[in-house]
Structure 1
Amino acid sequence: MKANVVEIDREEGQSSSQDRKAALGQALRHRILSMELAPGSTLDEVALSEEFGMSRPPVRELMRQMAAEGYIELEANRAARVASMNYDSLRNYFLAAPLIYVATTKLAATHATQAEIDGLKRIQERFRAAVEGVDVDERVLQNDQFHLAIGKMAHNPYLLPSLCRLLIDHARLGKTFYQPRDERMDAELAQALQQHEDIIDAIQRRDAEAAGEVVRAHVYLARRNMASYVTPEGVNVSIDF
C-alpha cells in the first residue's frame, strides 16, 4: 500500500513539474510575441525558475526547445536572449514570407477538410472582434492563429516548421500594423480583415490560384508598416521581394 502511495506521489510530482514547465513555455512565448520581452533582451534563468517554482535544469531544457523553435538565441557562456530583430532579419522575413504563405495557402485550398475550414472561420470571427475592439495583442494573436491554422490545413510537414518560425517575427512586426497611427493605416487594417475573408472564400471554393494571389497581396499590404520597425524616421522604405 505504501509503495502505491509513493508511486502516486511521484506521478503527481512529475505532472506538476510538467504543468509548470508548460506554463512557463506559454508565458515566454506570449511575452516574446507581444513584445513584452524586447528582441535581443536577456532572459534571467534564476528569476524564471523562482517565478514558476521550478529548478533550473527543466528551465534550461525549455530554453533549448524554444531556441530550436526560433524564439530564443543561445550562445556558449552567455545568457539566453530573445531572438533579435534587425535589418537583416527583416529583409529575410520579407524574402521568405510570400514564398511560405503562398505555398501553404494554396495547399490549404487543395487539402483542407470542411472541419478545418469551419475552424478557420471561427478564428476569423475572433480576429474581426479584435480589430473592432482595442486589444492590439489580441489582434496579433488571432492573426497568428489564422495563418497557423492555414499552415496546418496544408498538411505538409516540410512547410509547417518554416511557417511557425516565420510567424514569430510576423507577430512581433505585426505590432506596428495592428496598432494603426493614422487614417491610411486604419484603412489598410480594414483591407487586411477583408483579405482574410477572401482567403477563406478561395479555400472554401478549392481555388488554389485565387488563394495564393490574395495571400500574396496580404503580405505586400503590411510590408511598409512592418518595415518601419527597423527603418529610421524620415527614410523611405524600399525592400524588394
Structure 2
Amino acid sequence: MKDNAVKAPAGAEQPSASIYEMIREDIIAGRLAPHTRLKIADLSEAYGTSTNPVREALQQLRGEGIVEMEPNRGARVVAIDQNFVRDITEIEVLIEPALTRWFCTIATDADIAALEAVQQEIEALNFTDLVRHAELDTRFHQLIYDRHYNRHVADLWWKHREILRAISRRYPVALSRRKSVLQEHRDLIEAIRAQDADGAAAIIARHVEGSGRHIIEQMSAYRRDVGDPNKN
C-alpha cells in the first residue's frame, strides 16, 4: 500500500474486509434489497467463501447500521435511503466538530503543512477523478481525527465515512458543492492555524451538514429521474 493511501484508523476493526465490502456495496447499490433476509449459507455460496467470513462481515455491517439482526430470524438489510443518510449526518454533525475542536489544541506547524499539502492535491485534481478525490478528502479529515484519544469516536467517524463514501460514489457532485468543499477546507485550515477551536468546529459542522444534504438531494433527484433502485 502506498504511504498516502487511505487507511483505516489505528485500532479500527476490519474483519473479512473483501467479503464485507462486497456485501456492503451490493446493499448500497440495491442488489440486496431493503428487508431482504441474509442467510449465511446463501451468502457464502454467492460470494464463494466459507461461512465464518460472512458471519464476521454481517456483524461489522450490523455495527454500522446497514444490517439489522432479529432474534430467531437472522439478519436483514436496512433501507439505504434519504432517512438513513440524514441519521448518519446528524450523528456526524455532533462528532466531527468535537474531534476538530480537540485537534485545534494540539495542531503543530507540521500538521498545518500536511493539511495544506493534501488540500493542494485536492485543488489540483479539481474533481476530475472522483475516486481519487474521495481518497484525498478522506485523508484530509484523517489528519485531523486520527490522533484523537477517544478511539471509539474516531472509529465511529471512520465507519460512517466509509458508508457515506460508498453511497456518494453513485451520484455526481454538483458544481456548487464542489466550490463549497474547496472553500470550507481552506477556511478550516485557516481556523486551525489561528487555533480558533470554535470557528473550526462551526466550519466542520457546516461542511458535514452540506455534504449530507447534497447526498440526499442527489438521491432524491436520481429516484425522480430513474426510479427507486431498491424496488424490485
User: Which TM-score applies when normalising by structure 1?
Assistant: 0.63
CA contact (8 A) 1:127 1:142 kept: yes
Q: Larger % of helix: which?
A: 1
Q: Secondary structure at the match of 1:153?
A: coil
CA contact (8 A) 1:108 1:155 kept: no
Q: In structure 1, give the amino acid aligned to 2:50.
A: S
- Cα RMSD of the aligned pairs, angstroms, is 3.9
Change (3 A) 1:210 1:78: same
Instruction: Kindly report which structure 2 residues correspond to 1:63-82, keeping only aligned pairs within 5 A, or say none.
Output: 63-75=58-70, 76-81=72-77
Change (3 A) 1:171 1:44: farther
Aligned to 2:150: 156
Aligned to 1:84: 79
Change (3 A) 1:91 1:25: closer
Deviations 1:44-80 (CA, angstroms, capped at 9, x unpaired) = 7557646776321232123213322444333343455
Aligned to 2:6: none
Bigger RCO of structures 1 and 2 (CA < 8 A, at least 6 apart): 2
Choose which of 90, 107, 110 in structure 2 pairs with 1:95: 90
Ranges in structure 1 where 5+ consecutive residues have no aligned partner: 1-18, 235-241
Ranges in structure 2 where 5+ consecutive residues have no aligned partner: 1-13, 226-232
Aligned length: 208
Q: Distance in 2 between matches of 1:121 and 1:41?
A: 44
Q: Distance in 2 between matches of 1:20 and 1:208?
A: 35
Q: In structure 1, give the amino acid aligned to 2:84.
A: S
Choose which of 213, 216, 220 in structure 2 pairs with 1:227: 216
Instruction: Kindly report which structure 2 residues correspond to 1:33-72, keeping only aligned pairs within 5 A, or say none.
Output: 35=29, 40=34, 45=40, 49=44, 54-72=49-67
Q: Distance in 2 between matches of 1:70 and 1:140?
A: 22
Return the index of the structure with the highest Cα Rg: 1
Q: In structure 2, give the amino acid aligned to 1:150.
A: I
Aligned to 1:213: 202
Aligned to 1:179: 172
Deviation at 1:125, TM superposition (A): 4.5
Aligned to 2:141: 147
Q: Which runs of 4+ in 1 moved over 6 A?
A: none
Deviation at 1:186, TM superposition (A): 0.6
Deviations 1:65-98 (CA, angstroms, capped at 9, x unpaired) = 33224443333434553x4333543442343332
Q: Distance in 1 between matches of 2:141 and 2:154?
A: 11
